[in-house]
A and B are shown apart, each in its own frame.
Chain A
Amino acid sequence: MADVIQLRNVSKTFGEVRALHDVNFEVHSNEIVGLLGDNGAGKSTLTKIITGYHQPDPGGELHWKGERIDHLSVQKARDLGIEVVYQERALADKQSLWRNIFLGREMSNKWGVLDIAGMKSETRKLMQTVMGFTSSAITADSMVRTFSGGERQGVAITRALYFEAELVLLDEPTMGLSLTETKKCLDFVNEIKNTGKSAIFIDHNIFHVYPVADRIVVLDRGTIAGQFMKNELTLQELIDRLYLVAQTGSLAEKGEVR
């Protein structure tokens, strides 16, 4: 299977902290990769390298569909078709819902004049269809600051899906969501799979990750501790191995070679 994105020998250092160490990682076309790992393992850092927000340390390489990308910026990543739901949600609290949906890629003509009517009507459409906002107090002009935690996440998720990306990165999208909202979010991930797109799905709850992922990658203290296809392993085996990683830093059982 062809790779959508491939990271080669990617490291990322923040001052003294080495968040990623020599990571080799790829997402195949039409594949859902579940990315697991402890707090501080480097999952979000990996996400932000793929979205062009962080640059890898010198020596690391990024390849998009087999082609080397020299300097990936957020803008370029987006043009390639990479969308993301950041763990921190990346919303602008004092701005309206429609401004948040189109944050950083406002609809405009070639002189940069905004198409406000267009953005508002798209937002209204999304509110009725994908977001399913039940509170009548919310309009396209509502300030995001007044939204509930789940609604805010809904905004971030909707925004990532609206632009129909090739590769969607979801960094703990279900955090703080109700059961129904979580199910909707997981349905979205399945939908990504069904439409032939790819995704990286980060979640601390393996009961969320396991059912939707094709392959599971475990990150531990900045390195890839191991990975396997879902069909190689039952959920119980996965849980056992994750405990093992926490203790030994490796996914492989003793004597196993990977």
Chain B
Amino acid sequence: MSSTEQAARPLSQTAQRGPLARFARTYSLQIGIVFVAIVIWLLFLAGSPQTFLSRNIYAAFMSSTPYFALMAIPLTLVVITGEIDLSFPSVMAFGMTAFDIVFTATGSVMLGFIACLLAGMLAGYLNGVLVVKIGMPSLVATIGTQFFWRGAVMVITNGQGLGMGAVQKSILYPGLVHRIGGFVPMQFIWTIIFAVVVWFFLNRHKFGAHVFLTGDNVESAKLMGVNVGRTKTLTFVIVGFAAAFAGFVVSEDLLFFWPTMGDGYMLNTLASVFLGGTSVFGGMGTVFGTFVACFIIGAINAGIVAAGMTGFWTNLIYGFIIVVSVSIQTILGKRLR
């Protein structure tokens, strides 16, 4: 046997364990989350077959999960850059306040919708400025803006809600919340669109490459010429946009805007991102993981309701999920290091 053949042997051996093992390793996070989803679903199915065999629960599921999945998917980007955004629940309401103002002034739903999205982006941009330009830790900056925007919403609306009946005549109603075939809600389709678009930019575009690099090692990224500040700011703007969009979808679906809207979205959104395997330490995460995790969280919520437990349980369980999934990440991370 020649020496080159000898040298080549270990190589071909790894190749033999090859594609399947490599696939499993590369996508271990995604496989894990799908596995968790299936187990939880089977548990619910066994525990409450009536509920989980009926169509209704899945219809409810597809209409309410997008409320926070629309935000959790883009929030994944912020978390991958190593930052966090806690202001999105208030930004939902802030966007709708902009809608309120513009709609009341002009009577145009479309203009109101555009104002809503712009307001969300503005709020996201402000987070970016505080974190990137001022240099505040994002945890503190976005707690601050969370209260600030909620306060602004309350001051502007004087705590008054807005009936959204007029929206039903706008194209945005069928466009965003229509039930296709009376079953699949449009917001579910939009969630899939968000997931595909964010996945594309995260994994197939320079922007996403820079998101990973920024979160992985900000110093290396800067040394190698990645515009870290712009990358972070953009992720905040995207979350702001998504929060305003989600706020509009929720208000439109419920045909009412409450200025307190967004309360109650914090934990399930964050839990989805972390349960989905995105690292709190930055540099790692998948859109697919977040997407599946959103539906796990949604199922747990449905399960709690179906089991007749009080809503108090949801916070307990979401909190538990956040702590456990981040603990697992931390332990796995240490092992790898």
Please give the residue numbers on chain A whose beta carbons come within 8 Å of chain B beta carbons, in ascending order: 48, 51-53, 73-75, 78, 86, 88-95, 99, 103-106, 108, 112-114, 116, 136-137, 141, 145-146
Write out, one digit per residue, whether chain B residues 207-230 have a CB within 8 A of any chain A CB (1) or not (0): 101001100110111111110000
State whether A92 touches B10 (Cβ < 8 A): no
Q: How far apart sit A48 and B224, CA to CA, in the bound complex (Å)?
A: 11
Q: Which residues of B contact A95 (CB under 8 A)?
A: 212-213, 216, 283
State whether A99 touches B223 (Cβ < 8 A): no
* 5 interchain pairs, CB-CB under 8 A: A53-B222, A53-B223, A90-B220, A93-B216, A105-B225
Please give the residue numbers on chain B whose beta carbons come within 8 Å of chain A beta carbons, in ascending order: 10-11, 13-14, 22, 26, 204-207, 209, 212-213, 216-217, 219-226, 279, 283-284, 336-337
Interface centre among B212, B225, B279, B337 (most CB of A within 10 A): B225
Task: Say whether, besides A88-B219, A99-B212, A114 and B283 are in contact (CB < 8 Å).
Answer: no
Q: Which partner residue on chain A sits nearest B10 by CB separation?
A: A136
Q: Measured between C-beta atoms, what is the minimum distance from B19 to chain A in Å? A: 12
State whether B206 touches A141 (Cβ < 8 A): no
The 9 nearest A-B residue pairs measured at CB: A74-B225, A104-B224, A92-B216, A90-B220, A112-B206, A90-B223, A136-B10, A94-B283, A104-B225
Task: Say whether, besides A104-B213, A145-B337, A91 and B205 are in contact (CB < 8 Å).
Answer: no
State whether B219 touches A103 (Cβ < 8 A): no
Q: Which partner residue on chain B sits nearest A105 by CB separation?
A: B225
Q: Which residues of A contact B284 (CB under 8 A)?
A: 94
Q: Which residues of B contact A52 (CB under 8 A)?
A: 225
Q: Which residues of A contact B11 (CB under 8 A)?
A: 136
Q: Measured between C-beta atoms, what is the minimum distance from B185 to chain A in Å? A: 31
Task: Say whether, besides A73-B225, A145-B336, A103 and B205 are in contact (CB < 8 Å).
Answer: no
State whether A90 touches B219 (Cβ < 8 A): yes
B217 is contacted by which of A74, A91, A106, A116 (Cβ under 8 Å)?
A: A91
B213 is contacted by which of A99, A137, A141, A146 (Cβ under 8 Å)?
A: A99
Q: How far apart sit A53 and B279, CA to CA, in the bound complex (Å)?
A: 28
Q: Which residues of B contact A86 (CB under 8 A)?
A: 223
B204 is contacted by which of A78, A99, A114, A141 (Cβ under 8 Å)?
A: A114
B14 is contacted by which of A53, A94, A137 (Cβ under 8 Å)?
A: A137
Q: Which residues of A contact B206 (CB under 8 A)?
A: 106, 108, 112-114
Task: Say whether, besides A75-B225, A88-B223, A92-B221, A103 and B213 are in contact (CB < 8 Å).
Answer: yes
Q: How far apart sit A141 and B23, CA to CA, in the bound complex (Å)?
A: 11
Q: Which residues of A contact B283 (CB under 8 A)?
A: 92-95
Q: Which partner residue on chain A sits nearest B12 by CB separation?
A: A136
Q: Measured between C-beta atoms, what is the minimum distance from A229 to chain B in Å? A: 32
Q: How far apart sit A99 and B214, CA to CA, in the bound complex (Å)?
A: 13
Q: Which residues of A contact B226 (CB under 8 A)?
A: 103-104
Q: Which residues of B contact A92 (CB under 8 A)?
A: 212-213, 216-217, 220-221, 283
Q: Which residues of A contact B336 (CB under 8 A)?
A: 145-146
State whether A74 touches B216 (Cβ < 8 A): no
Q: Measured between C-beta atoms, what is the minimum distance from A140 to chain B in Å? A: 12
Q: How far apart sit A225 and B336, CA to CA, in the bound complex (Å)?
A: 45
State whether A112 touches B207 (Cβ < 8 A): yes
Q: Measured between C-beta atoms, what is the minimum distance from A138 to chain B in Å? A: 10
Q: Measured between C-beta atoms, what is the minimum distance from A58 to chain B in Å? A: 22
Q: Measured between C-beta atoms, what is the minimum distance from A50 to chain B in Å? A: 13
State whether A99 touches B209 (Cβ < 8 A): yes
Q: Measured between C-beta atoms, what is the minimum distance from B230 to chain A in Å? A: 12
Q: Measured between C-beta atoms, what is the minimum distance from B256 to chain A in Å? A: 41
Q: How far apart sit A116 and B220, CA to CA, in the bound complex (Å)?
A: 21
Q: Which residues of A contact B10 (CB under 8 A)?
A: 136
Q: Which residues of A contact B22 (CB under 8 A)?
A: 141
Q: Which residues of B contact A74 (CB under 8 A)?
A: 222-225
Q: How far apart sit A137 and B279, CA to CA, in the bound complex (Å)?
A: 25
Interface centre among A48, A91, A104, A136 (most CB of B within 10 A): A104
Q: Measured between C-beta atoms, what is the minimum distance from B7 to chain A in Å? A: 8
Q: Which partner residue on chain A sits nearest B281 by CB separation?
A: A94
Q: How far apart sit A89 and B219, CA to CA, in the bound complex (Å)?
A: 10
Q: Which residues of A contact B219 (CB under 8 A)?
A: 88, 90
Q: How far apart sit A159 and B224, CA to CA, in the bound complex (Å)?
A: 11
Q: Measured between C-beta atoms, what is the minimum distance from B202 to chain A in Å? A: 11
Q: How far apart sit A118 and B5, CA to CA, in the bound complex (Å)?
A: 28
Q: How far apart sit A75 and B337, CA to CA, in the bound complex (Å)?
A: 32
Q: Which residues of B contact A78 (CB under 8 A)?
A: 225
Apart from A74-B223, A88-B223, what are 11 other A-B pairs with CB-CB below 8 Å?
A: A86-B223, A90-B224, A92-B216, A99-B209, A99-B212, A104-B213, A104-B221, A104-B226, A136-B13, A136-B14, A137-B14
Q: How far apart sit A136 and B10, CA to CA, in the bound complex (Å)?
A: 6
Q: Which partner residue on chain A sits nearest B11 by CB separation?
A: A136
Q: Which residues of A contact B209 (CB under 8 A)?
A: 99, 106, 114
